[in-house]
Structure 1
Amino acid sequence: MSFPFKTSLNMSTLFPFKLDVTRQIDVAAEAGYEGIELWVRDIDTYLAAGGSLNNLRQRIEQSGLTFANAIAFWKWVDSDASEREKGFEHAKRELELLAELGCVAAAAPPFGNVASMTLGGIAEQFGKLAAIARSIGVEPYLEFWGRAQKLSRLSEAVYVAMESGVQNAKILLDPFHMYTGGSATGWIGSLSGDSIGIVHVNDYPVEPSRDLIADSHRVFPGEGIAPSANLAKLLHAAGYSGFLSLELFIEDFGSLSALEVAKQGLAKVKSVYSL
Structure 2
Amino acid sequence: MSNLNRRQVLKAIGLTAGAAVLSETGAVAAPIAGSGFVYSLNMSTIHGHNLGFVKELEVAAKAGFTSVEIWIDTLQTYLQSGGSLTEAKKIIEGLGLKVEDAIGFAPWLADDEPTRKKAMEQLQREMKMLAQIGCYRIAAPPAGVTKGPVLDLDVVTERYLTILKMGEQTGVMPQLEMWGGSQNLKHISQVLYVATQCGKANARILLDVFHIFKGRSAVESLNYVGHHALDIFHVNDYPAGISPELISEPDRIYCGDGIAPIKQILQIVKNPERPLVISFEVFNKSYYAQDALTVAKTALKKMKEVAS
TM-score category (smaller protein)? over 0.9
Deviations 1:61-103 (A, max 9, x none): 1111111000001111111122111111110011111111110
Q: CA deviation at 1:245?
A: 0.4
Write the distance in 2 (CA, Å) between the matches of 1:124 and 1:255.
43
| Match of residue 85 from structure 1 | 117
Q: Is the 8 A contact 1:123 1:163 kept in 2?
A: yes
The amino acid of 2:142's aligned partner reads P
Q: Which shows bigger deviation, 185-194 or 138-147?
A: 185-194
Q: CA deviation at 1:192?
A: 2.0
Structure 1 residues 196-215: aligned runs within 5 Å: 196-215=230-249
Q: CA deviation at 1:202?
A: 0.3
Q: Is the 8 A contact 1:31 1:259 kept in 2?
A: yes
Match status 1:251 vs 2:247: no
Which structure is larger by alpha-carbon Rg, 1 or 2?
A: 2
| Match of residue 231 from structure 1 | 265
Write the distance in 1 (CA, Å) between the matches of 2:104 and 2:79.
16
Match status 1:133 vs 2:140: no
Deviations 1:144-178 (A, max 9, x none): 10011111111000001111232231111101111
SS at match of 1:135: helix
Q: Which shows bigger deviation, 238-247 or 23-32?
A: 238-247
Write the distance in 1 (CA, Å) between the matches of 2:228 and 2:145.
30
The amino acid of 1:91's aligned partner reads L
Structure 1 residues 146-165: aligned runs within 5 Å: 146-165=180-199
Structure 1 residues 179-190: aligned runs within 5 Å: 179-190=213-224
Write the distance in 1 (CA, Å) between the matches of 2:150 and 2:179.
16
Q: 1:120 aligns with which of 154, 163, 169?
A: 154
| Shift in CA distance, 157/133, structure 1 to aligned 2, threshold 3 Å | same
- TM-score relative to the length of structure 1: 0.95
Q: 2:202 aligns with which of 164, 168, 171?
A: 168
Q: Which runs of 4+ in 1 moved over 6 A?
A: none
SS at match of 1:183: coil
SS at match of 1:125: helix
Write the distance in 1 (CA, Å) between the matches of 2:158 and 2:301.
41
Write the distance in 2 (CA, Å) between the matches of 1:126 and 1:238.
28
The amino acid of 2:87's aligned partner reads N
The amino acid of 1:5's aligned partner reads F
| Match of residue 298 from structure 2 | 264
Q: CA deviation at 1:2?
A: 4.8
Write the distance in 2 (CA, Å) between the matches of 1:55 and 1:210.
43
Q: CA deviation at 1:251?
A: 0.9
The amino acid of 1:49's aligned partner reads S
Match status 1:111 vs 2:182: no
Q: Which shows bigger deviation, 203-212 or 140-149?
A: 203-212
Deviations 1:200-250 (A, max 9, x none): 100011232211010000000001111011011111267562211000100
Unaligned 5+ runs, structure 2: 1-32
Write the distance in 1 (CA, Å) between the matches of 2:230 and 2:202.
9
Write the distance in 1 (CA, Å) between the matches of 2:214 and 2:274.
23
State how many pairs are aligned. Answer: 274
Q: Is the 8 A contact 1:201 1:246 kept in 2?
A: yes
Match status 1:144 vs 2:162: no
SS at match of 2:285: coil
The amino acid of 2:94's aligned partner reads Q
Q: Is the 8 A contact 1:193 1:241 kept in 2?
A: no
| Match of residue 67 from structure 1 | 99
Q: CA deviation at 1:180?
A: 0.6
The amino acid of 1:205's aligned partner reads P
Q: Is the 8 A contact 1:78 1:112 kept in 2?
A: yes
SS at match of 1:252: helix
Q: 1:222 aligns with which of 256, 262, 265?
A: 256
Q: Is the 8 A contact 2:176 2:205 kept in 1?
A: yes
Deviations 1:3-45 (A, max 9, x none): 2200000000002211111011111111111211000000011
Q: Is the 8 A contact 2:48 2:288 kept in 1?
A: no
Q: Which shows bigger deviation, 114-123 or 60-69?
A: 114-123
Deviations 1:87-128 (A, max 9, x none): 111100111111111102000001113634211100000000
Write the distance in 2 (CA, Å) between the matches of 1:147 and 1:256.
28
Q: Is the 8 A contact 1:189 1:238 kept in 2?
A: no
